[in-house]
Copies of this chain bind each other. A is one copy, B any other.
Amino acid sequence: MNSTNSVPHTPPDLDQDDDDDDLNSAYGVTDREATQQARQQTETLGQRPGALVIREGALKPRMFLYSYDDTTLAEAEFSSYDDLWASFEAQPERKHWIDVRGYGDLALMERIMQDFDLHPLQMEDVLGDYQRAKVDVFGDNRLFLVSRMTDFTAELDIDDDQLSIFTGPNYVLTFQDDYEDCLDSLRNRLRGNFSTTKRKPSLYLAYALTDVVIDHYFPTMAAIGDYIEGLEDRIFSERRERRMLNRILRIKKDIVRFRRLVYPERDKISEILRLPEEVMPEEVKVYFKDAYDHAMQALDLAESYRENITSLTELFLSDQSNRMNEVMKVLTIISAIFIPLSFVAGLYGMNFQREGPPEGPNPLNMPELYHPWGYPGVLALMTLMVVGQLYYFWRKGWLSKQR
Contact = CB atoms under 8 A, between A and B. Distances in A.
A226 to B, nearest CB: 6
Contacts of A330: 332, 336
Given A30-B312, A315-B249, A121 B287 contact: yes
A74 interface: no
A357 interface: yes
A305 interface: yes
Count the copies.
5
Interface string A38-72: 11011001111110000000000000000000000
A82 to B, nearest CB: 27
A121 B355 CA distance: 100
A131 B293 contact: yes
A345 B349 contact: yes
A111 interface: no
B323 A325 contact: yes
A6 to B, nearest CB: 13
A366 B370 contact: no
A135 B347 CA distance: 83
A332 B332 CA distance: 9
A272 to B, nearest CB: 15
A365 B372 contact: yes
Interface stretch (A96-104, A161-169, A170-178, A212-220): A212-220
Contacts of A28: 232
Contact of A324 (B34, B41, B324): B324
Given A32-B229, A318-B320, A357-B370, A338 B343 contact: yes
A140 B319 CA distance: 59
Contacts of A108: none
Given A229-B30, A245-B318, A327-B328, A222 B334 contact: no
A47 to B, nearest CB: 8
Contacts of A402: 240, 242
A403 interface: yes
